[in-house]
Amino acid sequence: MSDADARDARRPVRPGGGKRVTMRDVADAAGVSQPLVSIVMRDVPGASPESRAHVLEVASRLGYRRDERARMLKQGRSRLIGIVFHAAQPFHGELIDELQLAAREAGYNVSLAAVTRRRGEADAIEALLGERVEGLVLLGASLAEEELERIADEVPVVTVASQYSSARFDSVSMDDARGTELAVQHLRERGHTRILYLGAPGVSGDEVRTATFLEATTAAGLGDEVAVVAGGASEAAGAKVIEDALKHHPDATAVIAFNDRSAQGVVAQARLLGKRIPEDLAVVGFDNSEQAELPYLQLTSLAQDPAQLASTAVEMVVGRVDPTAEGEAPRTGEHRILPTKLVVRSSSGDPAPSSR
Amino acid sequence: MSDADARDARRPVRPGGGKRVTMRDVADAAGVSQPLVSIVMRDVPGASPESRAHVLEVASRLGYRRDERARMLKQGRSRLIGIVFHAAQPFHGELIDELQLAAREAGYNVSLAAVTRRRGEADAIEALLGERVEGLVLLGASLAEEELERIADEVPVVTVASQYSSARFDSVSMDDARGTELAVQHLRERGHTRILYLGAPGVSGDEVRTATFLEATTAAGLGDEVAVVAGGASEAAGAKVIEDALKHHPDATAVIAFNDRSAQGVVAQARLLGKRIPEDLAVVGFDNSEQAELPYLQLTSLAQDPAQLASTAVEMVVGRVDPTAEGEAPRTGEHRILPTKLVVRSSSGDPAPSSR
DNA sequence: TTGAAAGCGCTAACAC
DNA sequence: GTGTTAGCGCTTTCAA
């Protein structure tokens, strides 16, 4: 059996692991050296037009595809940014879209790890570290700060839409305090004084919103008329809690919900109880998600721009990975807060109230 | 500068790409050979308890973590199953959870690629192939069958919850026809004759459901009283379409919606129009998703079991990757259809109707 | 039980 | 412009 026979015999096998076409195979078939194939495949200068064309032709005929792992291994770096997201959170989908884009622009690829019911954040992060990601973007992280600091010792970390203030990793989030102020102010302008804040204890962002809600309403002299009720970040939580809350605070005329999902639960359940939205109950949510626009919701909501969140996150993590040029990567944790704005829809009253 | 100095100096650098701790480093520090470290880290026999303990101690002190890429490269296979999912689809989150579990049990890891507004399925698949996944599980794929066949030439493919019948790749989906029959039968039993099917043209599953709806209602002699209206697979689509539909078919008393999301839109919008659910309008959805259970929805829905869908998909793809044992991997496309059952909630009437 | 040597598929340095 | 050589971090023979 000749060498050629052996080679031919190897290709069509494609067993378990699958012997795939390699640069060697292309080089042999094209009658050139293997590194030359590399040059052609990377599309860098150093090959004549003829060789280039020939190699490309052979490669495509053989169905060659570059092995990214080998490439990363040789290069000594992965140019990979790990993204940890929650599979059940539609807003994370929007963020992923933007993150992929921003990463690609910065010359990086992304690797995804999902947090699900049965797979925690720590697990997801471990998997990503095993792939040698060079940076980590964590969406809605809720691990202990010390945990994240331990991880940040290995690789730059930036959390998105979480509340951390560590000196060892970065974060980017919306301005929860300002957003809450805007919501309170908006409702007051429309004459509401008996306002409920329906929080989500333990979920990132809730602490700040709760504190600000109390401050803002107290400052406005509404201390006795408002209340904070503990709910959650889902439609079900919103629905469940509003029902109770309306029993204990039957004269409430407005609700600020932790996010659009819980706001949706509030609206639907309140309607079922005979309340008209917004005449009997005004509702404001957070996120300005796609569902805020639904015709039957038309939810007033505090907007955070996913594109800005994403590009900021990528910029921060890449800044630490690549201490480029004058490269002043901050040596201490940076915590950026992005502006938010109130998007007014009909769930909080007439779109254009002339008099309050 | 001694060797030890050089080694020490190397570690804390962690520049751009990040010089990470390698087996060599651990071996040097522990005073053993590098392959011995490999043996210890893989937890295979071949090292004395003392060496093992010592190596593990040194490894953890140095913060060693195995490089999965190098491992895969050397082993000649990745033991990776690629999963393409739609980031905006919460149901895919449930599937991912189950798929990860099933894959792990079969000795595989998963690699995720998200389809988003700006990243198509073809792109996502390409990325996964570059990582040398050994099989592909596509959730809600909508590529042309020929496209998928081209891909299936490279690596085993199984689609989940899509309608394909190719001889070159596999699929697993719920029994859309049976589900539709169950829905129609259920509504008829409750006395409904003027039934609408609110479809989602172009979305996988819709064709079969539409056809079956027409067959089943025609067979029941309802040909003139039913109608198919074109909608979509989102809350917004459901809301928009039901409003129109109720104008053209004001006497309709029941709706079968393409999925729970569009059903939710139908319920919310119909209520806003003064309809009571289920008294004025009974609603049935597909998926039996988490939202079907929401207190204000209580949606009757056709259940597909994500765990079963996932384990079947993994089993099929692994079966082709590993033609193990007596290894009778089917040489032609296999298309499994999983049973579905109707979960009755109050959106389609009184939970326990004594008389119809 | 341990070590030495080879090589996975690729890129980078240097020779020709 | 092209080939040769070397080596990324790991697993896998094979010797000792």
Note the CA–C1' distance, A76 to D7, in angstroms: 11
Distance of CA A353 to the CA centre of its chain: 35
Closest nucleotide relative to residue B50's CA, C1' based: C1
What's the pLDDT at B351? 56
pLDDT on residue A230: 96
Mean pLDDT calculated for residue range B200-221: 93
Q: Please write down the long-range contacts of A118-121, taking CB distance under 8 Å and 24 or more positions apart.
A: A118/B97, A118/B100, A118/B101, A119/B97, A119/B100, A121/A84
> pLDDT grade, residue B191 (50/70/90)?
very high
| Nearest nucleotide (CA of A36 to C1') | D2
Q: What is the nearest nucleotide to A49, using C1' and CA?
A: D1
pTM: 0.87
Q: How confident is the model at residue A17 (pLDDT cuts 50, 70, 90)?
A: very low
Whether residue A114 has pLDDT greater than 90: yes
When comparing pLDDT for B31 and A203, which is higher? B31
Check: CB of residue B231 under 8 Å from CB of residue B197: no
Q: Is the minimum distance from the CB of B73 to strand D below 7 Å?
A: yes
Q: Which pLDDT does position A6 carry in this prediction?
A: 36
**Residue among A20, A87, A291 whose CB faces B132 most closely:** A20
Chain A to chain B Cβ contacts (< 8 Å): 170
Structure tokens belonging to residue B162: 């899509």
- CA/C1' separation B65–C7 (Å): 22
A77 touches strand C (CB under 7 A): no
Does B118 sit within 8 Å of A96, measured CB to CB?
Answer: no
**Can you tell me the mean pLDDT for A85-95?**
90
Tell me the CA–C1' distance in angstroms for B82 and D6. 33
For residue A353, is pLDDT > 80?
Answer: no
Per-residue pLDDT tens digits for B1-38 = 333 333 333 233 344 445 689 999 999 999 999 999 99
Residues 6+ apart with CB under 8 A from B130: A65, A66, A67, A68
Domains of chain B (ranges; CATH) run 23-66 (1.10.260.40), 75-174+307-338 (3.40.50.2300), 176-304 (3.40.50.2300)
A10 CB-to-strand C distance under 7 Å? no
- State which amino acid sits at residue B42: R
Of A86, A130, A239, the CB nearest to B296: A239
| Chain A partners within 8 Å of B109 (Cβ) | 127
- Assign B330 a pLDDT band (cuts: 50, 70, 90): low
Q: Is the CB of A41 under 7 A from strand C?
A: yes
Q: How confident is the model at residue A1 (pLDDT cuts 50, 70, 90)?
A: very low
Average pLDDT over residues B314-328: 77
Burial of residue B308 (CB within 10 Å: 0-12, 13-18, 19+) is: middle
Do the Cβ atoms of A17 and B297 come within 8 Å?
A: no
Q: What whole-number distance in Å separates Cα of residue B38 and Cα of residue B55? A: 10
Torsion angles phi and psi, residue B211, rounded to 5: -60, -45
Confidence tier at A18 by pLDDT (50, 70, 90):
low
Instruction: Specify the DSSP class assigned to residue B116.
Output: B
Please identify which residue in the block is written with the tokens 């860098």: A44
Q: Kindly state the tokens that stand for B237.
A: 């689509």
Distance A130 CA to C6 C1' (A): 25
Over pLDDT 70: what percentage of chain A?
Answer: 91
Average pLDDT over residues A221-247: 94
Look at residue B125 in the predicted model and tell me its pLDDT: 96
Question: pLDDT tens digit string along A28-70?
Answer: 999 999 999 999 999 999 889 999 999 999 999 999 999 999 9
Strands A341-343 vs B80-86: parallel, antiparallel or unpaired? unpaired
Which residue in the set A65, A100, A127 is minimally distant from B129, CB to CB? Answer: A65
Q: Do B265 and A296 touch (CB under 8 A)?
A: yes
Distance, CA of A26 to C1' of D1, in Å: 18
Beta carbons of B321 and A16 less than 8 Å apart: yes
What is the mean pLDDT of the segment spanning A182-190?
Answer: 97
How far apart, in whole angstroms, are the C-alpha atoms of residue A218 and residue B21? 54
**Nearest residue: Cα versus C1' of C1:** B47
* Res B355 pLDDT > 50: no
Closest in A15, A236, A296 to B268, CB measured: A296
| Res. B215 pLDDT band, cuts 50 70 90 | very high
B72 touches strand D (CB under 7 A): no
pLDDT at res. A328: 57
- DSSP single-letter state for residue B341: E
Give the per-residue pLDDT at A329. Answer: 60
Are A235 and B97 inside 8 Å of each other by CB? Answer: no
B14 contact to strand D (CB, 7 A limit): no
Nearest nucleotide (CA of A27 to C1'): D3
Q: What is the pLDDT of residue A26?
A: 94
DSSP letter for each residue of B331-354: SS--EEEE--EEE--GGGS-SS-S
Which stretch of A251-255, A277-281, B161-165 has the lowest confidence by average pLDDT?
Answer: B161-165
Partners of B17 on chain A (C-beta within 8 Å) are 75-78, 134
Best residue of A294, A318, A347 to probe chain B, by most B CBs closer than 10 Å: A294
d(CA A165, CA A158): 11
Q: Are strands A195-199 and A300-303 parallel, antiparallel or unpaired?
A: unpaired
Mean pLDDT of B322-340: 76
Compare CB distances from A18 to B19, B134, B236 and report the shortest one's residue: B134
Residue A246 has pLDDT above 60, yes or no: yes
pLDDT in tens, A302-337: 999 999 999 999 999 999 887 664 455 667 899 999
Query: What was the pLDDT predicted at B322?
Result: 78
Chain A residues with CB inside 8 Å of B75's CB?
Answer: 17
Nearest residue, CA→C1' of D9: B70
Closest Cα in chain A, distance from residue B339 (Å): 25
Distance from CA of A345 to the nearest CA of B (A): 16
- Whether B313 shows a pLDDT value over 70: the answer reads yes
Nearest to A114 among B16, B96, B129 (CB): B96
CA-nearest residue of chain B to A21? B154
Over 90: is that where the pLDDT of B268 sits?
A: yes
Output the pLDDT for position B179. 97
| Residue A11 pLDDT greater than 50, yes or no | no
Chain A residues with CB-CB distance to B101 below 8 A: 118
Per-residue CB contacts under 7 A with strand C, chain A residues 170-189: none
Q: What is the share, in percent, of chain B residues with pLDDT greater than 90?
A: 79
Mean pLDDT (chain A) is: 89
- pLDDT of A13 reads 36
Lowest mean pLDDT among A295-304, B4-13, B93-102: B4-13
CA B230 to chain centre: 25
